[in-house]
Structure 1
Amino acid sequence: MLEQLDFYGLSDQGRHRDTNEDCYIAQSIGRREAVLLAAIDGVGGYEGGEVAAGIAQETVIALLSGSAQAETVLTEPVLAEPVQQINEAITEANNRIYEKARTDAILSAMGCVLTVAIADPVARRVYYGHVGDTRLYLWSEGELRKLSRDHSIVGLFEDLGQLTEEEAMQHPKRNEILRLLGRDLQQPNDENFINTGTADFVPGDMLLLCSDGLTDLVTKKEISLVLSHELSVKAKAQALVDAANQAGGHDNITVVLAHFRQ
């Protein structure tokens, strides 16, 4: 059962940004081969966005890797209540960012968006939580399917089929987000703040978590082509980042991959 997942995370400054306000998580949790994954995109300008993303990263790791069950029946999830615990970790990260922003005028506008996932090959499930316009995709049987829902007007119209992918990528308001961590204090289980879910995750499948620095510039077709190649997850992540930079590299670019080997 060990070493069934290959995973890798990569974050790049891009070609036009002075700093990188993105960060990620890609690490094993518990004593089984489950992994904690996240793509985090800071907002609020320079130091603020970077600080907010760092708080979210630190909080999610502390609450979810620390909650992983060391001894579990193999058919049980690596966390007692994965979706609920992801929800609580994101809520806590939000509240810590909010409180930090209130103590420092320089950081007053800071926030972040994020997508968090736990891939559990024993349970053959992925559990996730999401706020903003970072994304979670499932690559399965040659098809790339978006599991998360964008919290932006443009993303909403794209998800509803009212905008094509190309129209959404070129829309002047594509980066105007409706939800982010750090704006207000939150309570867990608010569906108007965090979207959560779970999906099958079986041998041969791959997860992609990414910031909009990738998806604003690289189409699903182009992403699918990279994922279909017989490359390591490290090489695939680098290829996706390179594609975004070659397309302009206008923003920070973060890519996290987890492949369930057959």
Structure 2
Amino acid sequence: MEISVSPWRSAARTDIGKVRAGNEDAFLDLPDQGLWVVADGMGGHQNGALASRLIVENLAELPAEGGLEERVGRVRQCLHHLNRRLGQELTVTAERPDPVIGSTVVALLTDNERAACIWAGDSRCYLWRRGRLYQLSRDHSLVQQLIDENQLSPEEAARHPAAHALTRAVGASEHLVLDILEFDTYPGDTLLLCSDGLYQSLSPDALGAALNLPSTGMALQRLFDLALDGPARDNLSAVVIRR
């Protein structure tokens, strides 16, 4: 009987931060299945925590067998189902009229040398490869849209009052549009999935320096030490994954 050992190592953590009363983030860390997720809930603590928890719990139950395309299809199907559920059933039974119950999601799937990143919202996926940091995901936010349309410079966008307004999230609208990026991976590649609470307080140089450390655990510890050294106004979540 052949036993396959995952070539991937990972470490994951979430923290409430210094300001929030509760944690609306959730994560999934399943290196043996080649699946990692960060979800950042929205709509008040109870609703946000429910939405992010539903995402990670449902994705954790998906079968791990099959090729990358098949598994990506399952993740998409699961997230579209949750989008309908959060948008319809849960909204109707909630105490307040028409509350928002939603969550960002960023998921990473790996299969041998191939990987796929799937996301909606502003939780991010970064790749550290051969001394360079790449942001693989593109924020689904009003500010990113304004930058893309050349209406704002990145510096102006950072100061924009609607900087955190999302244009996509699971549960936020009737039709969920997911972005998917497939790519080859190489030995030594390090990937980071994180909520906006983590990356907003760290410069790209600081992210890269942390991801360059010898182990995923050390990288994760450095990221949280740096983020919690700052104001940490939001919940913080991160998964560091290395091949």
Distance change >3 Å, CA 24–CA 14, structure 1 → 2: same
Q: Distance in 2 between matches of 1:247 and 1:169?
A: 17
Q: Which residue of 1 aligns with 2:92?
A: 102
Give the CA deviation at 1:141: 1.1
- Partner residue of 1:203 out of 187, 190, 196: 187
Query: Is 1:130 aligned to 2:119, yes or no?
Result: yes
Q: Which residue of 2 aligns with 1:194?
A: 178
Q: Distance in 2 between matches of 1:23 and 1:58?
A: 9
Q: Counterparts of 1:56-95 in structure 2 under 5 Å?
A: 56-62=55-61, 64=62, 67-69=63-65, 77=67, 79=68, 81-95=70-84
Q: Which residue of 1 aligns with 2:106?
A: 115
Give the CA deviation at 1:138: 1.3
Q: Which residue of 1 aligns with 2:208?
A: 224
SS of the equivalent of 1:258 reads strand
Instruction: Determine if contact 1:169/1:217 at 8 Å carries over to the other structure.
Output: no
Q: Which residue of 2 aligns with 1:163?
A: 153
Query: Is 1:214 aligned to 2:204, yes or no?
Result: no
Give the CA deviation at 1:147: 1.2
Instruction: Determine if contact 2:128/2:212 at 8 Å carries over to the other structure.
Output: no
Instruction: Determine if contact 1:82/1:127 at 8 Å carries over to the other structure.
Output: no
Give the CA deviation at 1:23: 0.7
The percent identity for this pair of structures is 30
Q: Which residue of 2 aligns with 1:258?
A: 241
- Any stretches of 5+ residues in structure 1 without a counterpart? none
Give the CA deviation at 1:237: 1.1
Task: Give the aligned residue type for 2:183.
Answer: A
Instruction: Determine if contact 2:25/2:237 at 8 Å carries over to the other structure.
Output: yes
Task: Give the aligned residue type for 1:115.
Answer: V
Distance change >3 Å, CA 93–CA 226, structure 1 → 2: same
Compute the RMSD of aligned alpha carbons: 2.2
- Any stretches of 5+ residues in structure 2 without a counterpart? none
Task: Give the aligned residue type for 1:213.
Answer: G
Q: Which residue of 2 aligns with 1:8?
A: 11
Count of residues in Structure 1 that have an aligned counterpart in Structure 2: 237
Q: Distance in 1 between matches of 2:217 and 2:199?
A: 18
Give the CA deviation at 1:185: 3.7
Q: Distance in 2 between matches of 1:171 and 1:246?
A: 24
Deviates more, 1:246-255 or 1:88-97: 88-97
> For each residue in 1:187-241, what CA deviation from the matched residue of structure 2 results, as whole angstroms up to 9, or x when unmatched?
xxx6xx11112111111101110000012111111100111122x2122112112
SS of the equivalent of 2:181 reads strand
Task: Give the aligned residue type for 1:21.
Answer: E
Task: Give the aligned residue type for 2:41.
Answer: G
